[in-house]
């Protein structure tokens, strides 16, 4: 329940700030009853929120570097959003086993940014291994829009485009050749989705009157933000003690 609240809350804040998001080919998103791996190039800090909102009511888990959990308040937030820690320098078996188990035994899917870091295009083998072990399909998507907070606040256009689900059940072995084929399929779909967005015509910024509903909702938004912050301050230490 708290996952749903946080997803909607952060999406609401992005709408207040930007309010110029456009979603394409959402009919291709797999049914909520089917688990899958949602993959996208990691281009901004906020593209995971747009991905999670577009695919609602589906809930997700995602990998996050362990250093992000050191802050008790931020760590509490991302954990409640479905994050689990990984050691990028020395990844252990749990990096593969945990998401595979969740995909097999729960109704949550997995969000992965196979490049492993923002602005990189190298597809890592983790997506292929997890998809193969969990016997799930791969759902590609791309974000295009402001890359900086300033651009987001200036209400530059955001486009989220969803592609064709990728089935890798025909790949018998995940050797170097098999991994290369999975990477080729994912990258090919990323490139196609990026090119497709480039053909979509639309205003880069919405009309000025679009600010009016945001001004009306500004005070309620500030109140909700404050209450959420206060709840986190109280809940995070309690949650940490319970985990111990």
Q: At residue 203, what are phi and psi to the nearest 5 degrees? A: -65, 140
Q: Where are the beta strands (DSSP E) in the chain?
A: 21-24, 36-39, 59-65, 83-86, 108-112, 137-144, 158-162
Structural domains counted in the chain: 1
pLDDT band at 205 (very low <50, low <70, confident <90, very high): low
pLDDT of residue 25: 97
pLDDT of residue 160: 96
What distance in Å separates the CA atoms of residue 109 and residue 59, rounded to the nearest whole number? 6
The sign of the dihedral angle between the CA atoms of 24, 27, 33, 39 is: negative
pLDDT tens for each residue of 17-69? 888 899 999 999 999 999 999 999 989 989 999 999 999 999 999 988 888 88
Per the CB < 8 A criterion, the answer to whether 115 and 41 are in contact is: yes
Residues of 75-99 as b/e, b for ≥16 C-beta within 10 angstroms? bbbbbbbbbbbbeeeeeeeebeebb
Domain that holds residue 86: 2-243
CATH number for the domain including 140?
Answer: 3.40.1130
pLDDT tens for each residue of 161-192? 999 999 999 999 999 999 999 999 999 999 99
pLDDT at 200 over 80: yes
Per the CB < 8 A criterion, the answer to whether 37 and 110 are in contact is: yes
pLDDT tens for each residue of 3-16? 888 888 889 888 88
pLDDT of residue 24: 96
pLDDT tens for each residue of 123-164? 568 899 999 999 999 999 999 999 999 999 888 999 999 999
Rounded mean pLDDT of 66-80?
A: 85
Rounded mean pLDDT of 186-215?
A: 79
Closest CA to 110 of 55, 150, 156: 55
pLDDT band at 204 (very low <50, low <70, confident <90, very high): low
pLDDT of residue 119: 43
pLDDT at 244 over 70: no
**Other residues' Cβ atoms within 10 Å of the Cβ of residue 200:** 12
The pTM is what? 0.87
206 vs 70, residue with greater confidence: 70
**Other residues' Cβ atoms within 10 Å of the Cβ of residue 215:** 9
Strand partners, 133: none
What distance in Å separates the CA atoms of residue 161 and residue 120, rounded to the nearest whole number? 19
């Amino acid at each position: 329940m708290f996952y749903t609240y946080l997803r909607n809350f952060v999406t609401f804040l992005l709408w207040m700030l930007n309010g110029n998001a456009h979603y394409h080919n959402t009919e291709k998103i797999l049914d909520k009853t089917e688990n899958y791996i949602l993959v996208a190039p990691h281009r901004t800090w906020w593209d995971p929120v747009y991905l999670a909102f577009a695919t609602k009511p589906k809930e997700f888990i995602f990998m996050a570097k362990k250093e992000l959990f050191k802050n008790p308040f931020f760590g509490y937030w991302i954990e409640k959003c479905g994050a689990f820690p990984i050691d990028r320098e020395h990844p252990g078996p749990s990096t593969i086993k945990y998401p595979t188990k969740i995909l097999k035994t729960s109704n949550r899917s997995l969000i992965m940014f196979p490049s492993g870091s923002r602005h990189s295009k190298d597809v890592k083998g983790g997506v292929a291994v997890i998809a193969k072990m969990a016997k799930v399909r791969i759902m590609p998507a791309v974000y295009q829009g402001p890359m900086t907070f300033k651009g987001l606040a200036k209400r530059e256009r955001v486009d989220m485009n969803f592609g064709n689900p990728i089935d890798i059940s025909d790949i018998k072995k995940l050797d170097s050749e098999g991994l290369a084929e999975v990477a080729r399929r994912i990258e090919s779909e990323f490139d196609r989705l990026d090119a497709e967005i480039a053909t979509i015509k639309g205003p880069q910024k919405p009309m000025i009157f679009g600010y009016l509903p945001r001004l009306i909702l500004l005070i309620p938004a500030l109140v909700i933000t404050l209450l959420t912050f206060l709840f986190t301050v109280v809940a995070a230490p309690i949650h940490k003690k319970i985990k111990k």
